[in-house]
Amino acid sequence: MRRTKEESEKTREDLLNAAVRIFSEKGVARSTLDEIAKAAGVTRGAVYWHFENKTQIFEALHERLHRPFVDMILEDLEKDHPEPMVQLRDLCIQIMLDLEKDEQRQQTLILFFMKSDYSGDLAPYKDKHREKKAESMRLFKRYIEKAKKAGKLNTQADPELLTQCISCFMKGILFEYLDNPEGFDIENKAPKLINLFFNTLELEKN
């Protein structure tokens, strides 16, 4: 039954949404194209029409995760905040709070952090995804460099180390949350944890 272009595009979206859910639940390897298709209300025929194979679905999902994240930070960096470190802190808190409401994003993060073996057909994407991550790390670093230029940080402070420090901490919170979303009250704890953490960096001023 030939569909209209809008319907076709919807099928594609349905497939991607279904894939996120299935992948994040069972991992990429254990997920079947058949159950993804069924979860989207179609058959494997539709899958092979829209995508080459499972790997291509995987890659399409990563784009859908990373692009908006980078755009959000880039937009935030445009603003001329007087206290870059406070701006960064608030951004970190906001990222966590936003995450709670966006179940799609949660599942996609679970998928790429914890359910991707990056072996076999997926192996080539390991480096590619790592490079994308490095890109967002550089964006974080720009906050710290701005702060240092504005004299808001100790002159001895190492932007590279601070960036890594923040990245580690954020990733840790992410993992603890994603590992058990119901047991981790992120709305309450994330601000507390992040505020507590950023107090360290305030020390660097002196």
Partner DNA sequence: GTTTAACCATACATTTATGTATGTATGATG
Partner DNA sequence: CATCATACATACATAAATGTATGGTTAAAC
Q: Which two structure tokens, joined as six digits, stand for 109?
A: 């993060």
Site membership for DNA, residue 8 (CB under 7 A): yes
Please provide the distance, in angstroms rounded to a whole number, between the alpha carbons at the two ends of the chain: 70
- Contact between 111 and 20 (Cβ < 8 Å): yes
Residue 107: CB minimum distance to DNA, A: 19
Residue 119: CB minimum distance to DNA, A: 11
Site membership for DNA, residue 21 (CB under 7 A): no
| Short-list 8, 92, 98, CA closest to 45 | 8
Residue 12: CB minimum distance to DNA, A: 7
- The number of angstroms, rounded, from the C-alpha of 134 to the middle of its chain's C-alpha atoms is 12
State residue 18 phi and psi, 5-degree precision. -65, -40
Give the relative orientation of helices 124-149 and 84-101 as an angle to the nearest 10 degrees: 140
Given its own copies, DNA, none, residue 128, with its beta carbon under 5 to 8 Å by kind, binds: none
Site membership for DNA, residue 139 (CB under 7 A): no
Residue 105: CB minimum distance to DNA, A: 24
The contact pattern for DNA, residues 24-63, with x = CB under 7 A and - = no contact, is -------xxxx--x----xxxxx-xxx--xx---------
The span from the CA of 152 to the CA of 205, in Å, is: 6
Given its own copies, DNA, none, residue 5, with its beta carbon under 5 to 8 Å by kind, binds: DNA
The span from the CA of 59 to the CA of 89, in Å, is: 31
Q: Is 206 helix (H, G, I), strand (E, B) or coil?
A: coil
Site membership for DNA, residue 200 (CB under 7 A): no
The span from the CA of 22 to the CA of 4, in Å, is: 27
How many residues contact DNA, by CB under 7 A? Answer: 24
Site membership for DNA, residue 87 (CB under 7 A): no
Residue 164: CB minimum distance to its own copies, A: 7
> Site residues (CB under 7 A) for DNA?
1-5, 7-8, 11-12, 31-34, 37, 42-46, 48-50, 53-54
